[in-house]
Amino acid sequence: MSRRIQIHSFADVDRSGKVRWTARELGYEIDEQRLSPGAHLQPEYLALNPYGQVPTARIGDQKLIESSAICIVLAERHPEKQLIPSAPSARESFWQTVNLVTTTLETPTVNYFLSQRGIMDERWKDLLAESLPPRLRAFAERLPEEGYLYERFTLADVFAGYVLRIGVQSGLLAYEASLGAYLDRLRARPAAVEARIFDSLDI
């Protein structure tokens, strides 16, 4: 029996990309429902996600919200895929990295990206222009020269790949050195290609 997930999204570049990528790594077939502007605030969608956030996912009758949480739920359903490390020592570092990437880095990077495009108030871009690039560079400088963030590919790479990709597209990071090599490895993964996570990245 095939695994299927329904994902409500706006575009390839929004946070639904993390969910598509994770789902494809785990072998899910995806039924993607693209929302038109403003549809996330309509009663039909609010019945799925009362917070009006995108993405929302459905697996059978179960509704899932918050992109990173959806990815974690999917990964925990399939421990044999090892998208979350099983060794206690690795898990401690893994969860620190996941929280760093999805909070300290992702939220301001996405806000900067959206403010660049007039989707959010432009003041976000001005507020973050000085403080955000050093944080992203500090993370990029610690990327491995080979392989992934941990012994094998994990959710940490999905989350890092997403935020670094947004950072490059926003002009906050240069696609060079270890960052470029790391992103090249991620872009080569079949699941990332199928998820279209890097399609609009102009390098």
Find how far residue 99's CA is from the centre of its chain: 12
Q: Report, at the CATH architecture level, how domain 3-81 is classified.
A: 3-Layer(aba) Sandwich (3.40)
pTM across the whole model: 0.94
CB burial of 104-139 (b: ≥16 within 10 Å; e: otherwise) equals ebbebbbbbbbbbeeeeeeebbeebeeebbebbeeb
Kindly tell me if the per-residue pLDDT of 1 is higher than 50. no
Domain boundaries, the chain: 3-81, 88-192
Q: Give the number of other CB atoms < 10 A from CB of residue 61.
A: 5
The pLDDT tens digits for 65-95 are 999 999 999 999 999 999 999 988 899 999 9
Question: What would the mean pLDDT of 29-43 be, rounded to a whole number?
Answer: 92
Q: Report, at the CATH architecture level, how domain 88-192 is classified.
A: Up-down Bundle (1.20)
In the prediction, which pLDDT does 117 show? 86
The pLDDT tens digits for 141-177 are 999 999 999 999 999 999 999 999 999 999 999 988 8
Q: At what angle do helices 16-25 and 67-77 cross, to 10 degrees?
A: 10
